[in-house]
Amino acid sequence: MVRKFSKLSKLSYLFLGMNLLLSQVLFASPLEKNLVVGMELSYPPFEMTDAQGVPSGVSVELAKALAQHLKRELKIENMSFDGLIPSLKTGKIDLIISSMTATEEREKSIDFSTSYLKTGLALLLNSKSSAKSISDLDASKKIIVVKKGTTGHQYASKNLTLATIHVLDKESSCVLEVIQGKADAFIYDSMSVYQNHKRNLDTTKAILTPFKEEFWAIGIRKGNSELKKSVDEFLINFKQAKGFEVLGDKFLKEEKDYFQKNHIPFYF
C-alpha cells in the first residue's frame, strides 16, 4: 500500500503541475505578452494612419522602438484622447504615447516618464481678429474653442474667465469654427496651429510663439515603477542616439525649418 500511495502521489503532483502550467498559458493576460499602447490616431504627423489604414507617425515610430527595447510585441489601441487615462488606469493599455502633456492634474491619476518633447500652447485666430496675445482674448464678447480633454481646454477653463469657452470633441471642428468666424480663436499646440493655418491661409492667422510652455511624456499606470524605469532608460538612450532628430526630419522637416527660421522653439 505504501508503494502504491507513493506512486499515486507522484502522479498526482505531476498532473497538478501540468494543470497549473496549462492554466498559466491559457489564461495569461495579453498585456504580459504584448506592449499595449493607447493613442488617438487623428493627430498627424504624430499619431495617424497611412493610406492603408496602418498606424503611422512620430508616436507610432517611438512606440515601435520602445517595444523593441522592452523585447515585447507592440499592439496599438486607437481611442479618443479623453479615454486614454481611464483605459490606462483600468489596465486596458500599458502605456499612453499620444502627444500627452505631463500636468499636475494628470499626475494625480497616472505617472509620467521623463519628458521627451518640448512644446507649448499657441493660437489659431480668425483672419479678422485683432488679438495680439492670449490676454486680448479674455473678454466678455470673445468666443474661444478648445478640444475636450486637452491642456488648451484646461488652460481656458482656469484662466479665461470672461470669454465664452466652447468645448468640442474634434480638432477639425474647432478649426472650422474659427474659419467660419463663429469663434475668435482655437487654443492648441504650436505645431498643429501652424499646420491648420497653412491649410487655411485666407481665413486664419496664427500666433505660434507659445504663451505657455509644455512637455510631452509617456503615461504609465501608477505603481508600475519597473516599467517606468525601463521607459525612462529607453528615452535617454533614444535621445542620445539622435532618434528624435531622425523622426523630426522624417515627419516634420518643413515645420522644423520654418520654426527655426522664425526663431520659434521647435519640438525636438
- The DSSP code sequence of 151-199 is HHHHHHHHH--SSEEEEES-HHHHHHHHHTTS-SEEEEEHHHHHHHHHH
Q: Tens digits of per-residue pLDDT, 177-212?
A: 999 999 999 999 998 999 999 999 999 999 999 999
**Residue 66 pLDDT:** 98
Helix (H) or strand (E) holding 120: strand 117-126
Q: Tens digits of per-residue pLDDT, 12-48?
A: 444 444 444 444 444 444 445 799 999 999 999 999 9
Its pTM stands at: 0.78
Reference 37, options 143, 113, 136; nearest CA is 113
CATH architecture of residue range(s) 30-116+217-261: 3-Layer(aba) Sandwich (3.40)
Tell me if domain 30-116+217-261 and domain 119-214 are identical in fold: yes
Domain extents for the chain?
Answer: 30-116+217-261, 119-214
Q: Is the bond leading into 30 cis (omega within 30 degrees of zero)?
A: no
Name which CATH class applies to 119-214: alpha beta
